[in-house]
Amino acid sequence: MLLKRFLLLLVFVGGITLTSCQQSNTKQSVKKPNIVFIMTDDHTIQAMSAYGSKLVKTPGLDRIAKEGMLFNNCFVTNAVCGPSRATILTGKYSHLNGLTDNSKVFDSTQVIYPQLLKKAGYQTAMIGKWHLGSTPMGFDYYSILPNQGQYYQPEFFENGKVVKEKGYVTDVITDKAIGFLEKRDHDKPFMMIYQHKAPHRNWLPAPRHLGMFDNTVFPEPDNLLDDFKNRGKAAKEQLMNISTDMWEAWDLKLLSSAQLDSMGKLPIETIFKDAKGDDYKQANDPTLDKARFYEVYNRMTDAEKVKWKKVYDKRVAEYRKLNPKGADLVRWKYQQYMRDYLACVVSVDENVNRLMDYLEKIGELDNTIIVYTSDQGFFLGEHGYFDKRFMYDESFRTPLLVRYPKSIKAGSVSNAFAMNLDFAPTFLDYAGVKIPDDMQGVSLRPLLDNAGKAPETWRKAVYYHYYEYPSWHMVKRHYGIRTERYKLIHFYNDVDEWELYDMQKDPKEMNNLYNNKTYQPVVKELKEQLVKLQKQYKDTNPTEAVTN
């Protein structure tokens, strides 16, 4: 499957020559703002000190918040990678841009905002994780990771060629971003999409950060040991429990030096003898665990492997000594998960800071709109989960920080509802380019220009729709509405279940009130609003299968 997508990418190479010929010759008389769009993969607000994280310090990212605006309520339309990216580029919901789930290939003949900026005289670049199957269109320069990409010694697909780099992916992506800026055409404003793989599963830290949290004990979420009482089938039947769905080698890195060395001696075909077949079924097949892990481990240099073994041999020894069971095992796994995930976050933080320093050095920092976000949120042990996909707040909400001192008051905070649907219209608005009528998001400028305060007419509810089922982590299909106070979700396909949460009384979404008598007027009112939003966003047959 992965190979198929990569080959497909290569087939599209022909298209590139076309786009790079469509250079715009526009010279800028009035200087337009540059745009740097920074997006990480699976980085959630619980792991950002600007949002009050008790887990980690992120001074590089906090700098954007301190000098710009922090959004407390930015939500995604569909909390999984490809769909989020397609929504951001097109300004449209998944059912309209066609990319409802990660298995689909993005139809690159669609209008995406970077193309419009390019036509308006911007120099455009796409660097890092792309994950849309087809070749990027509308960029003067692109260097993307094929599929999910690799943490160590990553390959890139760069303006039509495959290149293999040395080093750690977050550092390499930043080097490429700085390289693009160094070589840019100084007569044009630039729009650079700079997207990290980190801190995506399987959470492999930079060699310099291996073991950095080994003496830290992280606070646990209150609902780490959630028993799913008062919740429906979807919450219970997923496959993203820290307790049962984390793999010993792939996720927890529980392979000793001796085991790793003996795997190294096996011919590669033996290691991968089972690694074939349907993608998502593999996903839930732990027999591939060691082989998959060995593949990514074996990309390290010899010196890196020495360091790796030192750090993880200690973990293996601790595991064998403690031999934790039941709740203790979940709590132990959670600590290891946080050690690795947060070390990946640190690599992002350092590199974003490095990029900001570079922009400052070249005198472009204050003339650049800098956006920091993630493709969605993530569960860090809440409900006992890892991964995302659910409309529950931890995965549905995404971080959003914006710095642009010419219009944004430093240190401002917005509580208004923003969405990843709004990013494209916002950039077009700042660049003075007409926002196409069929884009469904709205420009965030009224909030950004007004210290985060929303005008009376601002949206009071957000609409969500998730499709990827059956698939990785087996989260059932659902759609729903969130207002400031409530959330109503409908799980469909192989179930027909509703959930209602009172976000004020129950922000952790532990108690489904859908069948509670007192709340029936609320349910009725929310269902009406939900239908209105479905009409507005043209998702009027939400339970019909969407084909691409």
Contact 466, 389 (CB under 8 A): yes
Q: Are strands 34-40 and 368-374 parallel, antiparallel or unpaired?
A: parallel
- Closest contact distance (angstroms) between CB of 77 and ligand SGN is 14
Assess contact for 123 and 189: CB atoms under 8 A: yes
Ramachandran angles phi, psi of 67, nearest 5°: -100, 5
509 lines the binding site for Ca ion (CB under 5 A):
no
The number of CA neighbours under 13 Å toward the Cβ of 28 is 20
Of the residues 45, 81, 88, 435, which one makes contact with Ca ion according to CB under 5 A: 81
Least separation, in Å, of the C-beta of 373 and Ca ion? 11
The 331-370 contact track toward Ca ion, x by CB under 5 A, reads ----------------------------------------
Residue 201 interacting entry, from ligand SGN, Ca ion, none, C-beta within 5 to 8 Å by type: ligand SGN
- Number of amino acids touching Ca ion (CB under 5 A): 4
* Nearest to Ca ion of 115, 471 (CB atom): 471
Please state the closest distance from residue 104 (CB atom) to ligand SGN, in A.
12
Q: How many CA atoms does the CB half-sphere of 232 hold within 13 Å?
A: 21
Q: Which is nearer to Ca ion, 81 or 178 (CB)?
A: 81
**Single-letter amino acid code for the residue at 103:** S
Angle at 539 between CA 533 and CA 543, to 5 degrees: 115
Instruction: State the nearest-atom distance from the C-beta of 79 to ligand SGN, in Å.
Output: 9
Q: What is the C-alpha to C-alpha distance for residues 2 and 35, in angstroms, rounded to an integer? A: 31
354 vs 38: CA distance, rounded Å: 13
Q: How many CA atoms lie less than 13 Å away from 286 in the CB half-sphere? A: 11
Minimal distance, residue 43 CB to Ca ion, in Å: 9
- Whole-angstrom Cα distance, residue 421 to residue 442? 8
Which tokens belong to 112?
């995406």
Q: Which residue lies nearer to ligand SGN by CB, 340 or 387?
A: 387
Determine whether 326 is exposed, middle or buried from the number of CB atoms within 10 Å of its CB (0-12, 13-18, 19+).
Answer: exposed
Q: Does residue 384 contact residue 241 with C-beta atoms inside 8 Å?
A: yes
- Residue 363 CB, nearest distance to Ca ion (Å)? 34
Q: How far is the CB of 128 from ligand SGN (least distance, A)?
A: 13
Binds 282: which of ligand SGN, Ca ion, none (CB < 5-8 Å by kind) = none
**Contact region with Ca ion (CB under 5 A), list: 75-83, 186-194, 509-517, 534-542:** 75-83
Task: Return the residue nearest Ca ion (CB atom).
Answer: 81
Amino acid at 229: K
Q: Are 283 and 472 in contact (CB under 8 A)?
A: yes
**Binding partner of residue 198 among Ca ion, ligand SGN, none, CB under 5 to 8 Å per kind?**
none
At CA 472, angle to CA 92 and CA 347, rounded to 5?
75
Q: Helix (H, G, I), strand (E, B), or coil: what is residue 341?
A: helix
Of the pair 241, 353, the CB lying nearest ligand SGN is at: 241
What dihedral angle (degrees, nearest 10) is formed by the CA atoms of 243, 245, 247, 252?
Answer: -50
Residue number with the shortest CB distance to ligand SGN? 81
Q: Which is nearer to ligand SGN, 287 or 520 (CB)?
A: 287
CB of 37 to ligand SGN, least distance (A): 17
**Choice from 36, 41, 174, 235 touching Ca ion (CB under 5 A):** 41
- Of the candidate residues 33, 35, 42, 422, the single one contacting Ca ion (CB under 5 A): 42
CB count in 10 Å sphere of residue 479 = 22
* Torsion angle of C-alpha atoms 471, 476, 481, 485, degrees rounded to 10: -110
Provide the token pair at 223.
Answer: 């609902």
Our CB check for ligand SGN shows the closer of 196 and 403 to be 196
Q: How far is the CB of 381 from Ca ion (least distance, A)?
A: 17
- Per the CB < 8 A criterion, the answer to whether 433 and 411 are in contact is no
Question: Which chain residues interact with ligand SGN by CB under 6 A?
Answer: 41-42, 80-81, 102, 131, 148, 200-202, 250, 283, 387, 472-473
Contact between 190 and 369 under an 8 Å Cβ cutoff? The reply is no
State the binding partner of 392 from ligand SGN, Ca ion, none, CB within 5 to 8 A by kind.
none
Whichever of 148 and 483 has its CB closer to ligand SGN, that residue is: 148
Smaller CB separation from ligand SGN, 77 or 202: 202
Q: Is 375 in the site for Ca ion (CB under 5 A)?
A: yes
Partner from Ca ion, ligand SGN, none contacting 387, C-beta within 5 to 8 A by type: ligand SGN
Kindly state the smallest distance separating residue 76's Cβ from Ca ion, in Å. 10
d(CA 19, CA 125): 12
Contact segment (CB under 5 A) with Ca ion among 39-47, 177-185, 201-209, 280-288 equals: 39-47
Side chain identity, residue 171 = D
CB of 243 to ligand SGN, least distance (A): 16
Give the footprint of Ca ion on this chain (CB under 5 A). Answer: 41-42, 81, 375
